[in-house]
Chain A
Amino acid sequence: MGHIGAMPEPVILVDHLVKRYGGTVAVDDIGFAVERGVTAALLGGNGAGKTTTLSILLGLLLPSSGRVHVFGEDVLRHRYRVLPRMNFSSPYVDLPHRLTVRQNLQIYGRLYGLPRRGERIELLARDLQIETLLDRPAGKLSAGQKTRVALAKALLNEPELLLLDEPTASLDPDTGDWVRGYLEEYCASTGATILLASHNMAEVERMCSQVMMMKEGHIVDRGSPDELIDRYGRANLEEVFLHIARGTTATLEPAL
């Protein structure tokens, strides 16, 4: 065991998780827990295993071994008990292009069984400033607009757990800042938990109180951004990231 935190019934509990693709190990015996209301991050370079971990948590990908519990339920056996309470957004998974934004949101609203879809969509559209986009085809939107629409889709069911894969990738700084602010407000007002995978260190420093540093399928270090920065004796999380990405970890070779 050894990997798991001691807090009772965290929102996410991952234990000895392994994912192999043939001879390649994408995720290698990782474990972590995320408590309710926390915004946590999986950090790491390309191929570190962040998206694989998120996919397993969502039930889109079956692990080779290990335990994954969300809201106390075993995701591998009871994913339909937890899926209504969570949602997901990624800039790499578009909404269908030929449908309008409103049609897309209506369909996802129906899939989640929203009782008053129209009202919810209008409310989110106002909050996320996408009212003028509702009747435009999803494929005709700019990257920033798509991100806001994807966020509206991810918030349709008022999720208690949001899994976000690089939530502000390809956004200009202003839109990125706006999205981060919106997510912070959402968590503050609903008590939601967020687990995000990101390359954006400033974003993680600002939003997250818990960070898991991943490299080649392992969690090589973890802690709050401040703890990590202190441990490595660096100026910011980006320097910590570079330090780890270039081959050393604090446990093996901390900077003095």
Chain B
Amino acid sequence: MTGRMIRQRGEAPFSPARVWAMLLRYLYILRSSWPRTIELLYWPTLQMLIWGFMSQFLAENSSYIARAFGVLLAAVMLWDLLFRSQLGLSMSFLDEMWSRNLGQLFVTPLRPYEWLISLLAMSVIRVTIGIVPAMLLAIPLYHYSIFDMGLPLIAFLVVLLMMGWALGLAICGGILRHGMGAEGLAWTVIFALAPLSCVYYPVTTLPGWLQPFAWALPSTYVFEGMRAVLIDNHFRTDYFLAALALDVVYLVIGAVIFFIAFHDARRRGALLQMGE
């Protein structure tokens, strides 16, 4: 009786219970190590403090900053959100690599896409734990609330989360393909995109030939859009839609890279061997 129930559940092509099982696994890991939770909070809060004080100083010496005190602070928080979104996904993935657990996981009925959904969900949880306290702390410290942006903030969060996932998927695919030697990608790739994302300056600051590359990144639309909201009080719907469209394209590319790498790992026998 039990056996038949297990078989039926195992054969279901999608099971929220299996996704929850994987999510629970990552939450157990997070809970088992308080330094990891502190680390999640540490960097976003530190960044916010540095740039908050910098903004305060510049506000007294720059008309641009004085007009929109929150521009730098919002930029640093949103950039960190993008980074944490990508890292949140990659770190949960790396947890499996470090514990050499793929061989155990994929002899269960767990589907790769169910695993992927749990990684995405974990990314949202890690972002929330890491970024929200820094956002809240800025309110008493600098009398600045990023939440004053209102609905546009949600649009920015969605675009950046999706971009982080797309990058995370591609990076996980790279690690599956090239092994733990590619682990460093999880911490470094995103920073290569920072200059092009125009986090702290308008796109027009870039040389003309570089600007089309910048506009190929969803993050550029977010930071341009953020400045439009904070300086001109105007939400650029066109930017939002363009960023969303790019996100969809990059997410598809990221997922394709991931699934090809996963299939290739099965072909090479890497699922049993991969790890430290």
The minimal Cβ–Cβ distance linking B27 to chain A, given in whole angstroms, is 10
Interface residues on A, range: 35 or more
Q: Which of these binds chain A: B37-45, B149-157, B184-192, B264-272?
A: B264-272
**A99-B28, A107-B24, A110-B21 as given contacts; A59 in contact with B107, CB under 8 Å:** yes
Contact yes or no, A111 B18, CB < 8 A? yes
- CA distance in complex: A6, B105 (Å): 34
In residues 41-80 of chain B, which contact A (Cβ within 8 Å)? none
**A88-B107, A111-B105 as given contacts; A103 in contact with B28, CB under 8 Å:** yes
Q: Which of these binds chain A: B7-15, B127-135, B197-205, B253-261?
A: B7-15
Interface residues on B, range: 35 or more
- The A/B interface has a contact count, at CB < 8 Å, of 129
Q: Which of these binds chain A: B108-116, B214-222, B235-243?
A: B108-116
Residues of A within 8 Å of B110, CB to CB, are 111
- CA distance in complex: A112, B4 (Å): 12
In residues 118-161 of chain B, which contact A (Cβ within 8 Å)? none
Residues of B within 8 Å of A95, CB to CB, are 99, 101, 104
Contact yes or no, A60 B107, CB < 8 A? yes
Contact yes or no, A111 B108, CB < 8 A? yes
Residues of A within 8 Å of B109, CB to CB, are 80, 83-84, 111-113
Residues of B within 8 Å of A21, CB to CB, are 268-269
- CA distance in complex: A62, B3 (Å): 27
- Quick check: is B25 within 8 A (CB to CB) of the other chain? yes
Residues of A within 8 Å of B95, CB to CB, are 96
Among B15, B25, B269, contact of A96 (Cβ-Cβ < 8 Å):
B25
Among A61, A93, A137, A158, contact of B6 (Cβ-Cβ < 8 Å):
A158
The minimal Cβ–Cβ distance linking B273 to chain A, given in whole angstroms, is 9
Residues of A within 8 Å of B111, CB to CB, are 80
Residues of B within 8 Å of A87, CB to CB, are 107
Contact yes or no, B272 A61, CB < 8 A? yes
Contact yes or no, A110 B266, CB < 8 A? no
**A80-B10, A99-B32, A111-B21 as given contacts; A85 in contact with B3, CB under 8 Å:** yes
- Quick check: is A55 within 8 A (CB to CB) of the other chain? yes
Contact yes or no, A112 B6, CB < 8 A? yes
Residues of B within 8 Å of A84, CB to CB, are 6-7, 9-11, 109
Q: Give 11 CB contacts A-B under 8 Å.
A: A55-B269, A90-B103, A93-B100, A96-B29, A98-B29, A103-B28, A107-B28, A110-B20, A112-B108, A115-B5, A157-B6
- What 10 pairs between A and B have smallest CB-CB spacing? A84-B10, A113-B9, A110-B21, A111-B108, A96-B99, A93-B103, A61-B269, A88-B107, A84-B7, A62-B267
Given contacts A85-B3, A111-B108, list 10 more A-B pairs with CB under 8 A: A51-B272, A83-B109, A84-B10, A90-B103, A96-B95, A108-B104, A110-B20, A113-B8, A115-B2, A158-B2
Residues on A close to B: CB < 8 A? 21, 51-52, 55, 58-62, 80-81, 83-88, 90, 93-99, 103, 106-108, 110-116, 137, 153, 157-158, 160
Residues on B close to A: CB < 8 A? 2-3, 5-13, 15, 17-18, 20-22, 24-25, 28-29, 32-33, 95, 99-101, 103-111, 263, 266-269, 271-272
